[in-house]
Amino acid sequence: MKRMFGYPLYLIYAYVAITAGCATPAKTTTVSASGGKYSEDLSVWRPKTEMPVTDVKNSQPVASGQREPAPYVEPKVAINKRLDTVLDSIDRINLSRRSVDGFTIQVYSGKREEALNTRRQLGSILPGITSEVQFTEPIFRVKAGKYYSRLDAQRDYVEIKKHFPAAIVIPDRIAIN
């Protein structure tokens, strides 16, 4: 008769069989024949904890959802003073800036007379959009709107493109007032 750990081998086999039969319930798995959808019930593996919330003053349980806010505690290792100096320097840099990167819509680029006519047409067709004529030697450009992001410019660009097919969205510097 063979022995393992001082016990007969058949007793060890019986112990393993009994403990395997007493294992936690298996998860439920289903597969739909028509759609081939897979679902699995994993609720048996979720932890189940229920701790009553107690009121510190009266040592009485408090109804759920009615916790009192914790008192404010000042942090022992704070970087507030160092952070304030950095934020102040960033603020000074931002205040000294006169313009930011942005976008505008270029409606026309070419001769002076046609640029002025295009600006008049744009003002009559779309009066809500501000436009200006800029001269960059040797070309006159008609630019419409000032936008901080390309997405903001895209809304007006769709309307302008209907009347002026050569319009494009270009990066530009926007003056801060």
CATH superfamily of 99-175: Sporulation related repeat (3.30.70.1070)
Spatial contact of 156 and 127, defined as CB atoms under 8 Å apart: no
Tell me which residue of 120, 171, 165 sits closest to 146, measured CA to CA. Answer: 171
pLDDT, tens digit (0-9, with 9 covering 90-100), for 129-159:
999 999 988 999 999 999 999 999 999 999 9
Supply angle C-alpha 94, 97, 98, rounded to 5.
140
Three-state SS at 85: helix
The whole-number average pLDDT for the span 71-88 is: 81
Given a cut of 90, whether residue 23 has pLDDT beyond it is: no
pLDDT, tens digit (0-9, with 9 covering 90-100), for 27-59:
566 665 566 778 888 888 888 877 666 555 555
Please tell me the distance from the alpha carbon of residue 51 to that of residue 88, in angstroms, as a whole number: 47
Map out the domains of the chain as residue ranges. Answer: 99-175
Please tell me the distance from the alpha carbon of residue 105 to that of residue 170, in angstroms, as a whole number: 6
Tell me which residue of 173, 176, 111 sits closest to 142, measured CA to CA. Answer: 111
